[in-house]
Amino acid sequence: MMGVVEPLEFNCPRCGVTARAVYYGPCPDCRDGLRASQRAEARAAEAPAWEPKMNVVPNQVATKE
**DSSP state letters, the chain:** ---PPPPEEEE-TTT--EEEESS-SS-HHHHHHHHHHH-------PPPPP---TT----HHHH--
Query: Across residues 28-57, what is the average pLDDT?
Result: 86
Lowest mean pLDDT among 24-28, 29-33, 42-46, 56-60: 56-60
pLDDT of residue 42: 87
CA distance 32 to 51: 45
Where residue 45 falls among pLDDT bands split at 50, 70, 90? confident
> Does pTM surpass 0.95?
no
With 90 as the cut, is the pLDDT of residue 35 above it? yes
Determine the Cα–Cα distance for residues 52 and 59; give it in Å rounded to an integer: 14
Kindly list the domain boundaries of the chain, sorted by start residue.
Answer: 1-37
Q: Please determine, for residue 64, whether its predicted confidence score (pLDDT) is greater than 70.
A: no
